Structure 1
Amino acid sequence: MNNPVAAKRKAALANTLNIIIAFVVVSIIGIIIIPMPTFILDFLLVVNISLGITILVLTLFTHSVLDFLSFPTLLLITTMVRLGLNISSTRLILSQGDAGKVIDTFGSFVAGNNYIVGAVLFVIIVVVQIMVVTNGASRVAEVSARFTLDAMPGKQMAIDADLNSGLITEEQAKFRRSNLEKEANFYGAMDGASKFVKGDAIAGIIITLINLVGGIAIHSLQGDYAIGEALAHFGQLTIGDGLVSQIPSLLISVASGILVTRTANEKAFGDTIGGELFHTPQVMYIVGTLMVIFAMVPGFPFFPFILLATGLFVAGYLVSESQKATEQDVAAQNLQAAASREAEPVEESASQFQVDRIAVEIGYGLIPLANEDQDSSMTDQIAAIRKQLSYELGILLNPIRIRDNLQMAQHDYVIKIKGNEVAQGTLYPDKFLVVEPGGMEEEIDGIDAKEPAFGLDALWVTEKNKEIAELHDYTVVDPLTVLVTHVKEVMKQNADELLGRQEVKELLEGLKEHYSVVIDELIPDILQLGDVQKVLQRLLREGVPITDLVTILETLADYGNTTKEHETLTEYVRQALKRTIVKEHMDDQNTLNVLAVHPEVEERLASSIQKSTQGSIPVLQPQEVNQLFDSINQQSAMLTAQGIPFVLLTSPKIRPAMRNLLSFNFPDLTVLSLNEIPNECAIESTGMVSMN
């Protein structure tokens, strides 16, 4: 439970901190304009040095650039602070010939009272900062920004794939997308911010020359110093001022280099370096031995090499003992955990024993296809077809479980729905499947097979024979596409089994924001959730998408008070969706080719219909059923040979019964009623089904 008092204090503290930071940034202008006493300048120079050390140490403890996103802005602010202090110190040097104790100490102590040595040190620091650190950090930031931007589409697709497969939640996906954007913005900002550091170093050189030349000229002309004294005095002050400004600048430049070269890591910089450099004791033993050999070489100093070798041997021994102790602790913890599991009752939940709605099991030879490191893995493609089917059918599909099964043949796979095998196939990861529906005129060496999704004759061929097949315009498919296509067809054929009450509830909740009226009217006053589910399942069973869910619900609300019979309600919904149903079966001329049913057959079927819990079914003599099936076979074979798409057209009265009768022997035959044909649809009769 949140404490409101603590929250108010935290907000007040944050507001105060924002005001202080704003005041400090604005005060930079004051540092440049207003003359400052030497004791204030000393304090600000100490703060500047402390700030540089703080930023450097802070970068050593960050795990990634996302932990220090304010660094580019901070780099600009610290650069402006240094330039402001440089201008203030220049004013004091030129006007008073004194710039405080900090600058004087740096000039005498660091340079050893020799301004020539100090000048050399200053030049070296500037060269190192510009040529090495800043230039390298700027280049790394530039390349990182470019690669980060180029990789963003792929990373976005990977996030979407993880989201679609159920590996991450929507909130996690938003967080990862936000981090991608922040990372790209950081490297882009660092690429520009590095230019400030270069400019700062160049400005430092110019200001140093101005201090030296201007101080000597002003105070020697005014008679305060002789030329030699002025050169010594202002040389020392100038070098001290340059070192005081450039050393913090160098620290921050090094910090920027460390930050942009760091990769995302769960450990701080010291932990990472220590764990990577000193995790192998054998390396330390070898290097220690080499140090002993160098110590024995005449002319080499004995003591440093022996001291270093001793340290390496001791470090190697300590690391080795630490690793042994860690292994023993892990083994003891595993034993203790195993004993605890045996001693304590295991809390079990019903969800642990439930089968997956849909799962794919693969033999060990197909495991490389599921490798997520490759550009297009099985997981990514199956997640993509699951999303595609959701759009095509209008249902929410659960994530598809992919697991290996060592008891299967190495190249086999099975597709299971609710724990039961519904399809299986064989893949060869190093081969390609060649399919030619019209038959293969050219003889190609390969392994005879059946295309698993549609049952077409095919061959598994090698890379060499694949090129031959492509030259003859045969269809060539890689093994992963074969599997994914098979999974997609199985899901389409069994979509009704994948639509449970939970999925229907989620569909309705997704619509409720914009279509709450029809949902509130329908459920539960007119129909129950289970009744809606049964109607939707019947539609999916006959390949009718439920993407127009609003029309379906409105139709159920219209007729739900009249009847509660699922079959009758489904027929009403089909009539409301007639344009959606018919458009899938039109030919290239937007004509619906129909196979009509003879009036005598319709009359016979209508008189023999019986109702059951599974729906209407005509009760016919076996001879009559065989005659009907033979007629349909004859007509469909002729139309299929001519490449004409067609549907079986019946009266509304017998359509459900006819579909139920044909569902097993003719699962792909679409049965429509006259009421399901839009008035504007052109119809072409292609044959007649009879019992003669």
Structure 2
Amino acid sequence: MASNDTLNLRALITPENLRTLAAPILIIMILSMMVLPLPVFLLDVFFTFNIAISVMVMLVAMYSKKPLDFSVFPTVLLVTTLLRLSLNVASTRIVLLEGHGGGDAAGKVIEAFGSFLVGGNTAVGLVVFVILTLINFVVITKGAGRIAEVSARFTLDAMPGKQMAIDADLNAGLIDEKTAKSRRKEIGQESDFYGAMDGASKFVRGDAVAGILILVINIIGGLFVGVMQHDMAIGEAGRTYTLLTIGDGLVAQIPALIISVAAGLVVSRVGDEGDIGGQVINQVFSNPQVLGLTAIIIGVLGLIPGMPNVVFILLAAMFAALAWMRHKRIGEELQAAEAPAAAQAAAAQQPAESQEASWNDVAPVDVLGLEVGYRLIPMVDKGQDGELLKRIRGLRRKFAQEVGFLSSPVHIRDNLELKPNAYRIALKGVEIGTGEAYPGQFLAINPGRVSGPLSGRETKDPAFGLPAFWIEGGGREQAHALGYTVVDASTVVATHLNHVILNHAAELLGRQETQSLLDHIGKDAPKLIEDLVPKLLSVSTVQRVLQNLLDEGVNIRDMRSIIEVLAEHAPRIQDPVELTAKVREALGRAIVQSLFPGNAEVQVMSLEPGLERILLQAMSASGEGGAIEPGLADTLLRQTAQLAQRQEDIGLPPVLLVPAQLRMLLSRFLRRAVPSLKVISNGEVPESRTIRITGMVGTPT
């Protein structure tokens, strides 16, 4: 039985259980110190522990790269404040009970702080204590609390803009769902952290006030106890108990000051590039001109008669040496960076041997190209770990997952004919998109519901044409708070490129891509591909069907269904347009789902019955080309554009429902006038979905 009890006890005493119990045990011990008398030795141990904890907290705050790395700090702040107050209560009890016995009656730590640090002088001790308390209360704690309050307010105001920026990165394929979820969680934690810091700073402020009150109470109480209970002279009692009280106050206020400094360091962090020490050295001592001017000014002051010349001259020499070392290091770094470029330039200047033209001189046109001005080169330079390269890789991966095939690689090159900050997107050598980006700045995009303007370079979002501003990094929080979606320069280019690729997906699906897609499907269903290509359909016919689907925004991820439909109808139908219609009917559920997610009503526009009959007669008379009378065509375009705009204004996609015979004709005819319009046929809507007509094209207005 005893053996079983021992085993159960060992099972309970595990590292995980001990970590779980550590916090409750510590709080109980802290509260116990307020009511239970402590031996002098234990009091010394706890005072030393308090100092050690405060130093540790400050060092952790200094080496944290961002505030959330020390997210438990508000709780630590509360616990350390409670620990100091408990120690004050315990030390007050010992000082009043044992203070008449001498300076070490309340422990060695209090004696050291009361005698050694202030030289046993009560006046000096009181002044030092008051100064430390004022520094902690008026300067550090108040400033840290104000920073936390403002940060909490701006962080909360900026949350909608940051959420929209995350959604924009997710939609552009720059991040995955897991990363987006992690960033959203981090935004919420950041808001909670600054709110908690704002409240926790009140504890430190109250602790400073309590320290002053405890000092006054201990001095008065010590005089009363010494004179009335221990028959001490007033002067002796005042000196003894005042020194002990000052030592007690200093041993509590110095850790409080350290903790307050740590709080200020945490809430005043800007950026997350490194720890505070590294940031200070990199930003303060990195400019040799600043160091050199400082050395000159200090040196001139050192030459003035009456000044401490030796000290000033030594400091001037030190700053001059730092300036020279930093200047030399920058020169070495520039030489190392320019050496490869100089070697390439020298190689380019070497005269080429005269030789006959060959087929090697015929350079193939890139399917998809990105040309950048020279200021954008760092964004696409592998040697400099260009951020845009990573985003383009993620963009192609997301395109393949969503659209259903792998697009051609994006060939990137610099073009000195472009403006320094300009870029150009080309499809098969033809420009299809252009814009400008400014590395180091951010594009604040107005999604349509911002609360105010920004100061910056006014422009338009190159992908969607929304009004926007190029702003400096310091204006990000303000832009988020006003409701702008803020993205960096590489995201601007990547989003534009993604938008262009999606709009030209049909042109990116060439013969080679189609064959690669069929080969990929053939790995899992070889018989399905063998029965279709080339026995029933050629690769070019399959390519044309897939291009027709992509041209109207239908993805081709469900290639198995597409191949099965083609194999079923290919013995009787060879026309790509008719085959496309059959495939669309098979993919109808996915098409409608992409336009109207869930089981919501399919709210669409339709044709007025009379207009529908006229168009069907025109088609039967002139074939698929279907010539439409000019006046009727103008009315059709105008009313469709009006109804489509009304659909978008109420938050619905502009969708026109027509008979299957008219779908291709009207889709091609209306697409140029209303690019966002989707035309679907009756046969593409699943029977399980409810259709509601929101407007009719052709109704007299």
Q: Out of 186, 193, 196, which is 1:179 matched to?
A: 186
In 1, are the aligned partners of 2:58 and 2:262 still within 8 Å (CA)? yes
In 2, are the aligned partners of 1:106 and 1:244 still within 8 Å (CA)? yes
Q: What is the one-letter code of the residue matched to 2:546?
A: Q
- Cα gap change, 1:185/1:583 in structure 2, threshold over 3 Å: closer, same or farther? closer
Q: What is the one-letter code of the residue matched to 2:415?
A: L
What is the deviation of 1:57?
Answer: 2.3
Q: Does 1:19 align with 2:21?
A: yes
In 2, are the aligned partners of 1:362 and 1:408 still within 8 Å (CA)? no
TM-score between the two structures when normalised by the length of structure 2: 0.62
The aligned residue for residue 36 of structure 1 is 38
C-alpha separation in 1, matches of 2:414 and 2:173:
22
What is the deviation of 1:208?
Answer: 1.5
- Cα gap change, 1:670/1:250 in structure 2, threshold over 3 Å: closer, same or farther? closer
Greater C-alpha Rg: 1
The aligned residue for residue 616 of structure 2 is 596
In 2, are the aligned partners of 1:362 and 1:414 still within 8 Å (CA)? yes
The aligned residue for residue 421 of structure 1 is 430
C-alpha separation in 1, matches of 2:138 and 2:218:
24
The aligned residue for residue 258 of structure 1 is 265
C-alpha separation in 2, matches of 1:273 and 1:502:
58
Q: Out of 161, 174, 189, which is 2:168 matched to?
A: 161
Per-residue deviation, residues 59-110 of structure 1 (Å, max 9, x unmatched): 2222221221111111111011101111100111122223211111211112
Q: Does 1:64 align with 2:56?
A: no
What is the deviation of 1:154?
Answer: 2.2
The aligned residue for residue 242 of structure 1 is 249
C-alpha separation in 2, matches of 1:683 and 1:320:
75
- Cα gap change, 1:169/1:523 in structure 2, threshold over 3 Å: closer, same or farther? farther
C-alpha separation in 2, matches of 1:502 and 1:38:
86
C-alpha separation in 1, matches of 2:344 and 2:614:
69
Aligned runs of 1:245-394 on 2, under 5 Å?
Answer: 245-327=252-334
What is the deviation of 1:316?
Answer: 2.6
Q: What is the one-letter code of the residue matched to 2:73?
A: F
C-alpha separation in 2, matches of 1:225 and 1:590:
115
Per-residue deviation, residues 32-51 of structure 1 (Å, max 9, x unmatched): 22110101101110111111
C-alpha separation in 2, matches of 1:532 and 1:82:
82
The aligned residue for residue 489 of structure 2 is none
Q: What is the one-letter code of the residue matched to 1:637?
A: P
- Cα gap change, 1:215/1:495 in structure 2, threshold over 3 Å: closer, same or farther? same
C-alpha separation in 2, matches of 1:145 and 1:660:
51
The aligned residue for residue 94 of structure 1 is 96
The aligned residue for residue 49 of structure 1 is 51
The aligned length equals 551
C-alpha separation in 2, matches of 1:684 and 1:288:
80
Higher mean C-alpha deviation, range 485-494 or range 636-645: 485-494
Q: Does 1:540 align with 2:549?
A: yes
Paired residue secondary structure (2:616): strand
The aligned residue for residue 485 of structure 2 is none
Paired residue secondary structure (1:586): strand
- Cα gap change, 1:423/1:144 in structure 2, threshold over 3 Å: closer, same or farther? closer
Q: Does 1:406 align with 2:406?
A: no
C-alpha separation in 1, matches of 2:77 and 2:108:
26
The aligned residue for residue 141 of structure 1 is 148
Q: Out of 85, 88, 105, which is 2:87 matched to?
A: 85
Per-residue deviation, residues 194-216 of structure 1 (Å, max 9, x unmatched): 01101111111122122111121
C-alpha separation in 2, matches of 1:250 and 1:292:
35
What is the deviation of 1:255?
Answer: 1.0
C-alpha separation in 1, matches of 2:300 and 2:697:
97
C-alpha separation in 1, matches of 2:609 and 2:496:
29
C-alpha separation in 1, matches of 2:343 and 2:372:
35
C-alpha separation in 2, matches of 1:359 and 1:674:
40
The aligned residue for residue 618 of structure 1 is none
What is the deviation of 1:147?
Answer: 1.6
Per-residue deviation, residues 375-425 of structure 1 (Å, max 9, x unmatched): xxxx9xx99xx99x99xx9879979969786376769997644x3538579
Q: What is the one-letter code of the residue matched to 2:60?
A: L
What is the deviation of 1:156?
Answer: 2.5
What is the deviation of 1:569?
Answer: 5.3
In 1, are the aligned partners of 2:506 and 2:548 still within 8 Å (CA)? no
C-alpha separation in 2, matches of 1:670 and 1:107:
84
C-alpha separation in 2, matches of 1:678 and 1:19:
59
Identify the structure with bigger relative contact order (alpha carbons < 8 Å, sequence gap 6+).
2
Higher mean C-alpha deviation, range 152-161 or range 102-111: 152-161
- Cα gap change, 1:219/1:650 in structure 2, threshold over 3 Å: closer, same or farther? closer
What is the deviation of 1:220?
Answer: 1.2
TM-score between the two structures when normalised by the length of structure 1: 0.63
- Cα gap change, 1:525/1:203 in structure 2, threshold over 3 Å: closer, same or farther? farther
Q: CA RMSD in A?
A: 5.9
The aligned residue for residue 639 of structure 1 is 632
C-alpha separation in 2, matches of 1:503 and 1:256:
59
Please list every run of 5 or more consecutive structure 1 residues that lacks an aligned counterpart in the other structure: 1-8, 340-352, 371-378, 428-452, 454-480, 509-518, 606-627, 687-692
- Cα gap change, 1:170/1:226 in structure 2, threshold over 3 Å: closer, same or farther? same
C-alpha separation in 2, matches of 1:563 and 1:238:
99
C-alpha separation in 2, matches of 1:305 and 1:553:
82
What is the deviation of 1:284?
Answer: 2.8
The aligned residue for residue 109 of structure 1 is 116
In 1, are the aligned partners of 2:143 and 2:264 still within 8 Å (CA)? yes
Paired residue secondary structure (2:307): coil
Q: What is the one-letter code of the residue matched to 1:22?
A: P
Please list every run of 5 or more consecutive structure 2 residues that lacks an aligned counterpart in the other structure: 1-10, 100-104, 347-362, 380-387, 437-462, 464-491, 596-601, 641-655
Q: What is the one-letter code of the residue matched to 1:30?
A: S
Paired residue secondary structure (1:263): coil
C-alpha separation in 2, matches of 1:685 and 1:296:
93
What is the deviation of 1:22?
Answer: 3.5
Q: Out of 580, 586, 596, which is 2:606 matched to?
A: 586
Higher mean C-alpha deviation, range 238-247 or range 568-577: 568-577
Q: What is the one-letter code of the residue matched to 1:219?
A: G
In 2, are the aligned partners of 1:496 and 1:537 still within 8 Å (CA)? no
In 2, are the aligned partners of 1:99 and 1:237 still within 8 Å (CA)? yes
In 2, are the aligned partners of 1:363 and 1:404 still within 8 Å (CA)? no
The aligned residue for residue 512 of structure 1 is none
Taking every aligned residue pair, what percent have the same amino acid on both sides?
A: 33
What is the deviation of 1:661?
Answer: 13
Q: What is the one-letter code of the residue matched to 1:185?
A: D
Q: What is the one-letter code of the residue matched to 2:293?
A: I
Paired residue secondary structure (2:606): coil
What is the deviation of 1:322?
Answer: 3.8
Q: Out of 123, 130, 137, which is 1:123 matched to?
A: 130
